[in-house]
Structure 1
Amino acid sequence: MDVVGAWRLVEWRITRPDGRVSHPFGRDAVGLLCYTPDGHMSVTVSRAGRPPLPGDDSPSACQAQAEAFTSFLSYSGRYEIREGHVAHDVEMALNPACVGTTQIREANFDGERLVLAAPEGGRWHTLFWRRP
């Protein structure tokens, strides 16, 4: 399975057991996933059109910072392909709770798209990526 290179996010969908579908950062979320030949990876995903942060210490600035955190996902580390799965060994992350974890995703190709999927809390996360 050749995943090496850069990939742009097409869609991040969450499917619940009752069949309802949601898009955690919106239908127009943006993202970049990179795999290097020597086994490193990096991923960033965000809500589209995020506003700049205010430059003060007001309560609204604190709220804006919290929103910036909850509308952005980023981590990097090493990866391995394992029998139809890709394992991301997280070394750095926006959320410190992710550091030291291994994120395992089913990996498939749908035509030219890379599809990464994993269960979480009874829901199924599916991310569709395409080469730029």
Structure 2
Amino acid sequence: MITPQPPPQSNQMDSPSGLEQEVLGTWSLLEYSSEPFDGKGPTIHPMGPDARGILTYTSDGYMTVNVMPTVGNKIKQSIHDGVMYTGRYWIDKKQPDGRGAVMCHDVQMACPAELEGTVLKRQFMISEGRLRLSSLKYVDLEVWFRPSSLRTRVCL
């Protein structure tokens, strides 16, 4: 049996409104890429140019994400073979550097298991029906969209 765990009290979402409301639902991966910090060099696609994925945020503060390369290996050996995790999430708008809103994922179950027990932070923005997540420590970019067939809100 899984016992729900609340997000940290200092960042807890009271009632979803505005940006919190916009992020709710299911998103489909449009692009997953990584760029050099200095902007010099090619953009790479760690799981190939046609990686596929589903990301869901629920109104009760849970999220789940699955990202896989289009052509997968029968035996998963590295992070390049896919990433799946689930846990609590919250939006932290109070960043001292003024870089905007930050999405925090409290990873409770994951593959690869090394992600479990970590809090992954992503700068995020929603514009024109697209959700853009960027790593704060690396230059990784995930762009998600809501196709019309995935507009259903999921509430557990």
Q: TM (normalized to structure 2)?
A: 0.70
C-alpha distance in 1 between matches for 2:122 and 2:62: 16
Q: Which residue of 2 aligns with 1:30?
A: 52
C-alpha distance in 2 between matches for 1:103 and 1:34: 15
Number of residues paired by the alignment? 118
Q: CA deviation at 1:66?
A: 2.4
Q: CA deviation at 1:114?
A: 0.2
C-alpha distance in 1 between matches for 2:46 and 2:80: 10
1:49 aligns with 2:71: yes
Q: Which residue of 1 aligns with 2:37?
A: 17
1:40 aligns with 2:51: no
Q: Name structure 1 gaps, 5 residues minimum.
A: 54-63
Q: Please, what is the CA RMSD of the aligned residues?
A: 1.5
C-alpha distance in 2 between matches for 1:85 and 1:109: 12
Q: CA deviation at 1:49?
A: 2.5
Letter of the aligned partner of 1:72 in structure 2?
Answer: G
Q: CA deviation at 1:7?
A: 0.3
Q: Which residue of 2 aligns with 1:79?
A: 89
1:128 aligns with 2:139: no
SS of 1:97's equivalent in the other structure is: helix
C-alpha distance in 2 between matches for 1:107 and 1:39: 17
| 1:103-118 map, 5 Å | 103-118=120-135
Contact 2:54/2:65 (<8 A) preserved: yes
Letter of the aligned partner of 1:74 in structure 2?
Answer: M
SS of 1:66's equivalent in the other structure is: coil
Q: TM (normalized to structure 1)?
A: 0.82
C-alpha distance in 2 between matches for 1:82 and 1:30: 27
Q: Which residue of 1 aligns with 2:113?
A: 96
Summarize the Cα distance change of 1:65–1:73 in structure 2 as closer, same or farther, 3 Å threshold.
closer
